[in-house]
Amino acid sequence: MKQMDLNTFITIYQEFLNEGRAKGWMVEILIEEFGNHLASITNQDGIEVEFFIELDLENDVCLSEKTRQTTLDYGVLRKKGEGDFFAKEVLDSFHHYWAKKLAKRSMSFIVHKRS
Q: Report how far residue 64's alpha carbon sits from residue 97's, in angstroms, rounded to the nearest whole number.
A: 31
Query: What number of other Cβ atoms are within 10 A of residue 111's Cβ?
Result: 7
pLDDT in tens, 5-26: 778 888 889 999 999 999 999 9
Q: Residue range 23-43: average pLDDT?
A: 94
Q: Which amino acid is at 23?
A: K
Residue 106 has what pLDDT? Answer: 41
Q: What is the DSSP letter of 34?
A: T
Q: What is the chain's mean pLDDT, rounded?
A: 82
pLDDT at 52 over 50: yes
List C-alpha distances in Å: 91 to 37, 53, 65. 15, 12, 35
Q: How confident is the model at residue 103 (pLDDT cuts 50, 70, 90)?
A: low
Strands (E), the chain: 2-4, 26-33, 36-42, 48-55, 61-62, 68-69, 72-77, 109-111
Q: How confident is the model at residue 109 (pLDDT cuts 50, 70, 90)?
A: very low
